[in-house]
Amino acid sequence: MRKTNINELALFGGPPIFNQVLHVGRPNIGNRQQLLNRINDMLDRRWLTNNGPFVQELEEKLAAYLGVAHCIAICNATVALEIAARALGLAGEVILPSFTFVASAHALQWQKITPVFCDVDPLTHNIDPLKVESLITPKTSGIMGVHVWGRACPIEALDEIAQKHQLKLLFDAAHAFGSTHQGRMIGGFGDTEVFSFHATKFFNTFEGGAVTTNNDDIAGKIRRMRNFGFAGLDNVVDIGTNGKMSEVSAAMGLTSLESLNEIIGVNHNNYLAYSSELDGIPGVQLIRYAENEKNSYQYVVLEIDENVASISRDTLVEILHAENIRARRYFYPGCHQMEPYRSNFPDAGRNLPETEKLTLKVLQLPTGTAVREEEITRICALIRFIFANGTKIRSELTLGI
Ligand code: T4K
């Protein structure tokens, strides 16, 4: 049902446009029978975890797909970041953007490494390399770039700074599985890169992640650290943790991999539908992915300029939630506004003006194989209706207070 009057909006008491909630991050499920077959094999083998055959097969296939020498599967990306940081010997301070999921900062802080937040380029949403150098101190040991929305962050510029100051360079590539940078797959840049295969990512292993690297020594360390530091049956050579991926997760990964192109195709079509149907709304922009690079299109991101658009991002989110469209506000409010960083660095916001603006502008819309094109058409028609009636909606909200 299309809304023709603002009183029909669910926020004002009308029925929601969808009966069931549409989520951002609804998991993509590959071929169910293939997955069940693999789980049967796994049960027959009675090999459930600890570097089992599915994990090894997944690692080989991922390394080949990414064109990288080593891929080490881990139980999730947060632990993978922790292990990568430790394997690289990071300590003291590490520079990273505040505009990222809080796991990027927590993975450092968890090991008593201080995250130093850098501002972003408002055009790319990625770390601004021009602002990195001024944050380097004698305590800095590394830089963590984040490929936000799967769009490569400024790899060459960060690499140049890292080399000049002898810093380690790692990338949080949680969003960037399947993305390229100048035609090369993300995964082989810097000292290490870290992927997330969480259920909400377009390619998932239920929970999971991986570290990739072309460096044999680092790969060896990460393999040991993932398994308590064991270098042989009874020989522990280093501090380690339990970062192992289970066989059932790897079975899901192998199955997801078989549907990878199909899932990316659906995401791409969804992205194109959103782009054309939301085109031309004043103050509203869908972020664009370069056509000459690969991307998974798993994030449909709207940027709303409150000075031009008829309503704010937060009002739009409130209206959409009432209609059962669970749009998200990644990454609001920015890591520096979350604990313990907010208390540790109360003045951080002063150096992060672009981050602070960006966190108030962006939202993500549902996509993936769980969303039908007809649903996207209805979401877009609703969004157009909301912006066309923004002034009336605002005054109705003010009157209702
Ligand atoms: N670095 C970056 C840049 C990241 O974005 C992330 C994770 C990481 C590192 C760490 O990766 P992992 O350690 O997680 O591997 C979600 C995800 O949990 C998180 O993985 C992701 N980034 C982040 C951007 O989003 P939440 O707290 O928003 O998740 P949640 O539970 O609200 O789920 C999101 C939506 O998905 C909900 O609307 C419901 C839906 N959903 C979720 C699950 C798990 C389903 O429909 N089915 C499901 O099974 O963090």
DSSP for 286-305, please give it: EPPPPTTS------EEEEE-
78 lines ligand 1 (CB under 6 A): yes
- Alpha-carbon span 100 to 176, nearest angstrom: 13
Pocket test for ligand 1, best of 104, 175, 194, 200 (most atoms within 8 A of CB): 200
Give the mutation target among 24, 74, 101 for probing the ligand 1 site: most ligand atoms within 8 A of CB: 101
Average pLDDT for residues 109-123, to the nearest whole number? 98
Q: Is 204 in the pocket of ligand 1 (CB under 6 A)?
A: no
pLDDT given for residue 164 in this prediction: 98
- CB of 254 within 6 A of ligand 1: the answer is no
Q: Cα(236) to centroid of ligand 1, in Å?
A: 34
- Nearest atom within ligand 1 for CA of residue 107: 9
Atom of ligand 1 nearest to the CA of 209: 15
Q: List all residues 6 or more positions away from 305 whose beta carbon is below 8 Å from its beta carbon.
A: 283, 284, 285, 361
Give the tens place of pLDDT for each residue, 358-390.
999 999 999 999 999 999 999 999 999 999 999
pTM comes to 0.97
- Give the three-class secondary structure for 311: coil
Share of the chain above pLDDT 90, in %: 97
**Is any atom of ligand 1 closer than 6 Å to the C-beta of 150?**
no
Q: What is the mean pLDDT of the chain?
A: 97
Q: Residues 21-59: pLDDT tens digits? A: 999 999 999 999 999 999 999 999 999 999 999 999 999
List phi, psi (to 5°) of 31. Answer: -70, 110
Please tell me the number of Cα atoms within 13 Å of 194 on its side-chain side: 27
Residue with token string 């916001």 = 349
Calculate how far, in angstroms, residue 73's C-alpha sits from the geometric centre of ligand 1: 18
358 Cβ below 6 A of ligand 1: no
Cβ of 23 closer than 6 Å to ligand 1, yes or no, is: yes
pLDDT of 398 = 86
**Residue 24: CB within 6 Å of ligand 1?**
yes
Atom of ligand 1 nearest to the CA of 370: 46
pLDDT reading at 228 higher than 70: yes
Compute the distance between CA of residue 65 and CA of residue 62 in angstroms, rounded to an integer.
5
Q: Would you state the pLDDT for residue 399? A: 74
- Does the bond joining 353 to the residue before it have cis omega, within 30 degrees of 0? no
Q: For 378, phi and psi rounded to 5 degrees?
A: -70, -40
Structure tokens at 222: 């990460």
In whole angstroms, what is the distance from residue 256 CA to residue 46 CA? 22
Q: Whose CA is nearest to atom 20 of ligand 1?
A: 198
Residues 105 and 125 sit within 8 Å (Cβ to Cβ): no
Q: What would the mean pLDDT of 298-321 be, rounded to a whole number?
A: 97
The DSSP code sequence of 204-219 is --SS-EEEEES-HHHH
Which atom, in ligand 1's list, is nearest to the CA of 326? 38
pLDDT band (50, 70, 90) for residue 400:
low
- Tens digits of residue pLDDT in 323-369: 999 999 999 999 999 999 999 999 999 999 999 999 999 999 999 99
Helices marked H in 110-175 — which ranges?
155-164
Atom of ligand 1 at shortest range from CA of 27: 47
pLDDT single digits (tens) 259-296: 999 999 999 999 999 999 999 999 999 999 999 999 99
β-pair type (93-97, 114-118): parallel
Q: Check if the beta carbon of residue 71 is closer than 8 Å to that of residue 210.
A: yes
Query: From the CA of 88, how far away is ligand 1's center (Å)?
Result: 26
For residues 181-198, average pLDDT: 98
Instruction: Report the sign of the C-alpha dihedral through residues 204, 209, 213, 219, in that order.
Output: negative
